[in-house]
Each structure stands twice: as structure tokens, then as C-alpha cells.
Structure 1
Amino acid sequence: MPTSEELNSLALAVARDADRQAFAALFKHFAPRIKSYLIRCGTSDALAEELAQETMVNVWRKATSFDPDRAGLSTWIFTIARNVRVDYFRRHDHPVVVDLHDDSEAHPDTSPALDEQVLAHERESRVRMALARLPEEQALILRLSFFEERPHARIASELGIPLGTVKSRVRLAVHHLRRLLDGLEP
């Protein structure tokens, strides 16, 4: 079982040198864990296999964007896996169920370190406080789009507004939220 430092070194070798052996080691370590994670999220076995492979292809392609100072490798990779899954279901217009409180111990080696958990909790608190300060129209759009992961077309239909309006409201709300989080607005 490689240590997190060894995994980081492998990821950096992939980013820096497109090192195929390093990628093979990452694939061997993470692909089964990603597949298990996707299955726990309710994805079928065959689809989980396909999405795990797509995730690892994205890891190869996006390796240069991995920054070990910003997030742990497993956090980064599982975020990619989550996004691949969400994108798949959005493309196929299926609802996505996200369990934000999944404490499963099936993958104890992938859980973030305690300091990362504390930082994540602090970020979550800041986001919740900032969301509470948004106008209700903007908060609703963000909840539907990001937390309930509804496709923009479905949001437009449910709210009875044009698709372009949904997209512009999402952009406006995200921009406003970022400004609140950056402390640029009172």
C-alpha cells in the first residue's frame, strides 16, 4: 500500500514527465477504489467500471492541474470521479443522488487527513453563511443546480423561465457567492 507521499510523487511524475509506469501504479491503486465508490453511490457495476476508467483518463489528462498543497491526491481524484458520474447522469437526463454524509469505511485509506477535514468543515460553514446572504432567487438557483444537481434545462422548465436566464442566474449567483466568500462584500 503506497503512502500518500508516494502517491503524490507518482502523480507529479505523470504531470511532469507523462510517466506511464507512474500512471499504471496510480491506476492500479485508485481504479478499484473509484469503482467501489461509484457502486456505493448507486451506479451499476458495469457503468461504475466505465466511469472509473473515464476518471483515470481524466487523471492522466489533468495531472498538471494537481497541486498537493491544495488537496490530497485521493480527494482530487475522487472529486474527478464524482464529477464524471454527475456529468454522465446529466448527459443522460437522470437524477443524481448525492450522499453528502457517506461515512462508509470501505475505503479508509482515501479519507482526508484530520486537518483537511477541519478545513473542509470551515469552508462548508463559510459557504452556508454566504448562501444565506444571497438573494433567495440566486440561492434557489445554486441549490437546484449544484446541491440537487438538476440539469439547467430541467430547472428552466420547473421555474418556468428561459434556459438562458437560468444560465445567467447561475453565473451571477456564483460570482456573487465568490465575492461574499472572498470578503469583498459586507
Structure 2
Amino acid sequence: MHRTKEQCDAQGEWIAHVLRIRDRQDQTAFAELFRHFAPRVKAFLIRSGSDAALAEECAQEVMATLWNKAHLFDPGHASVATWVFTIARNKRIDLLRKQRRPEPEELTWGPEAEPEQADVVALQQETALLRRAMQALPGAQKELIEKAYFGDLSHREIAAQTGLPLGTIKSRIRLALDRLRHAMN
């Protein structure tokens, strides 16, 4: 892609701003970057499915990260815009993960009651059954289940790690879960 002279000049100016933040904690440079990028980041997040309040909060965090991590910016690796929007994407993913992990509703204090012996035995039997069902899975499905549920990786992270297409990952995991459900019943 060919850049216009104005785009190159603007990119050079944004780089200079980040370097001034990094080297001198220049608040004027930060204010200019904030005025330019914060509304764009917020709009990007809203287009990505975030509500306005979450997008605003996330945009604020992105700009705070820019201020605190200016020393990590490498103009040889990415443009300022690419760097800022990568931070935004990562912040959005972090916030979505937090939303998916509900906080415990009630924290108990003191020792927990001992489980009933019948419950312990039933849990041991279910665990043994699950172990056998996992061993019976085809190798590729077993590996993906382990990465997703024991390795706590997202489907995209598994795809990046294995080189398999995302659709293949999802299909194999779905098939494996169906087999496990059938084996457990």
C-alpha cells in the first residue's frame, strides 16, 4: 500500500509524540495523541460489539497504557496507529474474559463441611469414567480437549499453536464433547 506524503508526515509526527512521552513524559504530546486516538479507539470498540460505557472505559485504559508503556513502542515494528489499536484489541479481549468469569457470589470463612462419603465415591467413579472416555478419544480430539479445557486456551490460541484452521478446531472439539457426553451417560 502506498502512503501519501501527508500520511507519512502524520506518522512521523505521531512517532515523535510517542518518543517525547517516552523520553520526557511530555503531557502536551500525550494530550494530542489522546485527542486523536481516544475517539477512534472508542468507535473501533463500539463497532467491535462493545457498549458505549465499556468502550469508553477501555479507550481510557488504552491511552493510559500508551502513557505507561511508551518505552515499548518500536517504530520499526508498527505504526503508532497499529500499536494503539493492537493495545485496544488486547484490552477488549481482557475485558471480555473478565466478564465471562463470574465472581464467587459468596465467600465462605472457616473450614468447609466434609462431603458425604457417597458423594466422594460418586465423584471418584465419575472421574474414572471420564478418564477412560478421554483415553478412548482419537488422538487429535483428545489433544484439542486437553488444550481447551486443561490448558485454558481459546479456540483461536489453539489454532495459532497447532496451525489448524479455526473451523477444524471447533468441529473436533464439538465431536469430542459429544463422545464424552455419550460415554458419561
TM-score normalised by the shorter chain: which range applies?
0.5 to 0.7
Tell me the secondary structure at the aligned position of residue 100 of structure 2.
Answer: coil
2: CA distance, partners of 1:73 / 1:140 = 36
Structure 1 residues 133-174: Cα deviation after superposition (integer angstroms, max 9, x where no partner): xx9569957xxxxxxxxxx8xx31xxxxxx3x446xx79x85
In the TM superposition, residue 16 of structure 1 has moved relative to its aligned partner by: 1.3
Q: Percent identical across equivalent pairs?
A: 42
Q: Give the aligned length.
A: 114
Over residues 30-77 of structure 1, what are the superposed CA-to-partner deviations in whole Å (9 max), with x where a residue is unaligned?
000000000000111111111100110111111100010011110000
**What runs of 5+ residues in structure 1 fail to find an aligned partner?**
95-134, 142-151, 157-162, 178-186
Equivalent residue number for residue 70 of structure 1: 77
1:21 is aligned to 28
RMSD: 3.1
Alignment of 1:1-186 (within 5 A): 3-93=10-100, 136=140, 140=144, 155-156=148-149, 163=150, 165-166=151-152, 174=161
- 2:19 and 2:141 mapped to 1: Cα distance? 42
Which aligned runs of 4 or more in structure 1 are off by greater than 6 angstroms? none
Q: 1-side partners of 2:94 and 2:143: how far apart?
A: 22
Gaps of 5+ in 2: 1-5, 102-138, 164-185
1:48 is aligned with what amino acid? A
The residue identity in structure 1 corresponding to 2:46 is I
Instruction: Identify if the C-alpha distance between structure 1 residues 71 and 137 changes in structure 2 by more than 3 Å, giving closer, same or farther.
Output: farther
Name the TM-score, length of structure 1 as normaliser: 0.53
